[in-house]
Amino acid sequence: MVLELYLRNQLEKKDILLMTHIVMGYPSFDDNLRIIEDMVDAGVGLMELQIPFSEPTADGPVILRANQEALKGGATVKECFKFIEKVAGNFDIPFLIMSYYNIPLNYGVKDFVTAMSNCNIRGAIIPDLPPREEGQAYLSAMYDHHLAPILIFSPATSLEGMKDISSFARGFIYCVARSGVTGEDTSFSEELAAFLARCRQGTHLPISLGFGVKEKADIDFLKGKADIAVIGSQTIRVMEQKGIASVGDFIRSLGFTKK
């Protein structure tokens, strides 16, 4: 897969990559573009673009509020695809859609995947993707368009479960550090290290770690244990507290440099 090859090439040059997350339409699409420019310039390796949804069940209060504000501002799936097409064609990092299954289901799964392909998206993260039987139409469409369905390991996933999930995944695996939602505190501990070691056993793909990554110390802990650190809620907090111009400086403080 194109995405996996990109990641492996980048990992030959770097100890770990950074994936960030924005909610499209929050604070505005123009602000999103500026934030993406600053993040890419600061060394972000890949990025999730979230289509706002009224009930983002995996997201904590920070990203939940961003979803609600984007919807209040009138952000639509159609607008999001127009924005994705613009940024995916203008920046040299992979972009992924992050969404909830209700959105592609209502849009039409095949049409949704075709729209992703037309926008030069590399893959998608859908945390509430239903069990294998219901998800087959989505997975088949993703494979047909050479897009990466990013699937999820949690601490509750058994090793055999990981191997099964990995057989359907492409690009990389998203490992969630703990149960619950995004943005809460995570203990960067021996227990987390053991979970990541089990994830390594469960897949041949690169692995990312998200849910609670907030600072350089967290990323330093993940080096050698994960391939990608994921920061979502914290960048939104920084933007809300210190302004849009502060986001690039925050990313640089994490120790990443542009390739």
At residue 139, the pLDDT reads: 96
Cβ burial, residue 207 (10 Å; 0-12/13-18/19+): buried
What are the pLDDT digits (tens) for 170-195? Answer: 999 999 985 544 434 556 788 999 99
Is the residue at 29 inside a domain? yes
- Predicted pLDDT of residue 180: 43
Q: Which domain holds residue 239?
A: 2-253
Instruction: Please name the residues in contact with 56: beta carbons below 8 A apart, sequence gap of 6 or more.
Output: 50, 63, 64, 67, 100
CATH number at residue 240: 3.20.20.70
Active site includes 59?
A: yes
Q: Domain count for the chain, please give it.
A: 1
Please report whether residue 258 resides in a domain. Answer: no
Q: Mind listing the pLDDT tens digit for each residue in 44-73?
A: 999 999 999 988 777 778 899 999 999 999
Task: Evaluate whether residue 83 is within a structural domain.
Answer: yes
Does residue 244 belong to any structural domain of this protein?
yes
**Is 259 part of a structural domain of the chain?**
no
Query: 227 in a domain, yes or no?
Result: yes
Catalytic residue among 38, 48, 218, 227: 48
Catalytic residue among 59, 191, 227, 240: 59
In tens, the pLDDT along 206-228 reads: 999 998 898 999 999 999 999 99
Q: Using CB atoms within 10 A of its CB, is residue 103 exposed (0-12), middle (13-18) or buried (19+)?
A: middle
